[in-house]
């Protein structure tokens, strides 16, 4: 999937020098989490053709036929970044996904809070950030994984090949994502600003289903410094949501 020239360029220019390509695994996030617990350094990348237990948030699954999508996880060790701002790692991965799609396929998906890339209202990609045990080094670890439908996806999902009208290379997309992610990491204020600017949820009327099945409806008016979605509800008050599934209802008029 990656030739030597590309690998050495990534090693020279980014933190992502150690890229492991697997045919099949349970979950690339799990592989990276296990290696993090053994002390692997920041920059490890694991890519798989197929996952037997690809996961989403809240015990959900990520589905992808063998070879159909980009299934990738990276190990980050965000030294010096307040854990309250670790949501910026998900934001950076989403912004990098958007940039990589645009660069390689000409299609620029929308970012939906907190962790999706959409084409229209269909989901193209999802991002999952998990905090494994930091390992023997004691330095903090965050695994950031992305699943992106390149050649096909489950019914109702967006697929990059279809949106672009041609076959898109998974390797090119991977390299563009890693380069873009590398350039964003550490520029935390810029990531926060770019996320607010590019997040298509902000400005929309939305319904959010929270963890306990509690619904909040209103206009999304921003994302705060903790990564929470701010919703202006009917009473005029603002509600801050940290975890939930958003449905975009209609645009602001
Ligand atoms: C996510 O969760 O969207 C995060 C998905 C992260 C997957 C990557 S793949 C590489 C790495 N290794 C892993 O094990 N995981 C990461 P969430 O927001 O909870 O959305 C999950 C929901 O998306 C599912 O319940 C389905 O409804 C839907 N879904 C599953 N597979 C999909 C696909 N291929 N395309 C679009 N939607 C999908």
Digit-coded pLDDT (tens) for 69-125: 999 999 999 988 999 999 999 999 999 999 999 999 999 999 999 999 999 999 999
Neighbours of 202 (CB within 10 A): 20
Regarding beta strands 142-149 and 205-209, do their DSSP bridges make them parallel or antiparallel, or are they unpaired?
Answer: unpaired
Instruction: Give 211's contacts (C-beta < 8 A, 6+ positions apart).
Output: 58, 243, 244
The residue among 5 and 46 whose pLDDT is bigger is: 46
Neighbours of 137 (CB within 10 A): 13
pLDDT beyond 80 at 216: yes
Query: Quick one: pLDDT band at residue 242, thresholds 50, 70, 90?
Result: very high
Taking CA atoms only, the protein residue closest to ligand 1 atom 28 is 62
How is the beta sheet containing 110-112 ordered, strand by strand? 19-25, 45-51, 69-76, 142-149, 122-130, 116-119, 110-112
Rounded CA separation 251/244 (Å): 20
Q: Give the pLDDT mean for 235-245.
A: 93
Instruction: Give 185's contacts (C-beta < 8 A, 6+ positions apart).
Output: 15, 76, 78, 89, 92
Query: Quick one: pLDDT band at residue 252, thresholds 50, 70, 90?
Result: low
Half-sphere exposure of 203 (CA within 13 A, CB side): 9
The rounded percent of the chain whose pLDDT value lies above 90 is 88
Rounded CA separation 108/140 (Å): 32
pLDDT at 251: 64
pLDDT at 231: 97
Neighbours of 139 (CB within 10 A): 14
Q: Give, for ligand 1, the residue of 27, 32, 62 to mutate: max count of ligand atoms closer than 8 Å to Cβ.
A: 62
Indicate the average pLDDT of the chain: 94
Q: Which atom of ligand 1 is nearest to the CA of 72?
A: 10
Distance of CA 227 to the CA centre of its chain: 14
Residue 105 belongs to what H/E stretch? Answer: helix 87-105
Q: What spatial distance separates the first Cα and last Cα of the chain, rounded to whole Å?
A: 46
Token pair for 97: 């996904």
The residue among 6 and 72 whose pLDDT is bigger is: 72
Distance 85 CA to ligand 1 centre (A): 23
Q: Which long-range contacts (CB under 8 A, 24 or more apart) does 233-237 make?
A: none
Query: Quick one: pLDDT band at residue 203, thresholds 50, 70, 90?
Result: very high
pLDDT beyond 80 at 143: yes
Query: Quick one: pLDDT band at residue 142, thresholds 50, 70, 90?
Result: very high
Partners of residue 51 on adjacent β-strands? 25
Confirm or reject: Cβ of 140 under 6 Å from ligand 1.
no
Distance 83 CA to ligand 1 centre (A): 24
Is the model's pTM score more than 0.75? Answer: yes
Query: Quick one: pLDDT band at residue 250, thresholds 50, 70, 90?
Result: confident
Residue that the structure tokens 């390509």 belong to:
21
pLDDT beyond 80 at 249: yes
Distance 236 CA to ligand 1 centre (A): 34
The pLDDT tens digits of the residues spanning 175-187 come to 999 999 999 999 9
Token pair for 198: 């590019």
Residue 116, φ and ψ in degrees, nearest 5: -115, 155
pLDDT beyond 80 at 47: yes
Token pair for 123: 């989901």
Query: Quick one: pLDDT band at residue 253, thresholds 50, 70, 90?
Result: very low
pLDDT beyond 90 at 213: no
């Amino acid at each position: 999937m990656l030739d030597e020239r590309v690998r050495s360029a990534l090693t020279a220019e980014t933190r992502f020098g150690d890229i492991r390509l697997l045919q099949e695994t349970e979950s690339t996030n799990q592989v990276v989490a296990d290696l993090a617990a053994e002390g692997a350094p920041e920059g490890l990348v694991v890519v798989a053709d197929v996952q037997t237990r690809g996961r989403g948030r809240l015990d959900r699954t990520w589905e992808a036929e063998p070879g159909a999508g980009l299934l990738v996880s990276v190990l980050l060790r965000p030294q010096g970044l307040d854990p309250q701002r670790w949501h910026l790692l998900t934001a950076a991965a989403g912004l990098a996904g958007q940039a990589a799609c645009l660069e390689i396929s000409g299609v620029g998906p929308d970012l939906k809070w907190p962790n999706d890339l959409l084409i229209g209202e269909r989901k193209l990609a999802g991002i999952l950030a998990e905090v494994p045990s930091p390992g023997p080094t004691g330095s903090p670890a965050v695994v950031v994984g992305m699943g992106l439908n390149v050649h096909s996806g489950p019914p109702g999902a967006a697929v990059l090949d279809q949106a672009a009208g041609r076959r898109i290379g998974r390797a090119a997309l991977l390299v563009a994502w890693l380069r873009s992610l590398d350039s964003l990491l550490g520029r935390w204020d810029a990531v926060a600003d770019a996320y607010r600017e590019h997040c298509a949820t902000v400005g929309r009327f939305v319904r959010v289903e929270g963890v306990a099945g509690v619904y909040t409806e209103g206009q999304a008016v921003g994302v705060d410094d903790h990564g929470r979605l701010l919703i202006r509800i009917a009473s005029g008050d603002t509600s801050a949501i940290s975890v939930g599934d958003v449905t975009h209802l209609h645009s602001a008029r």
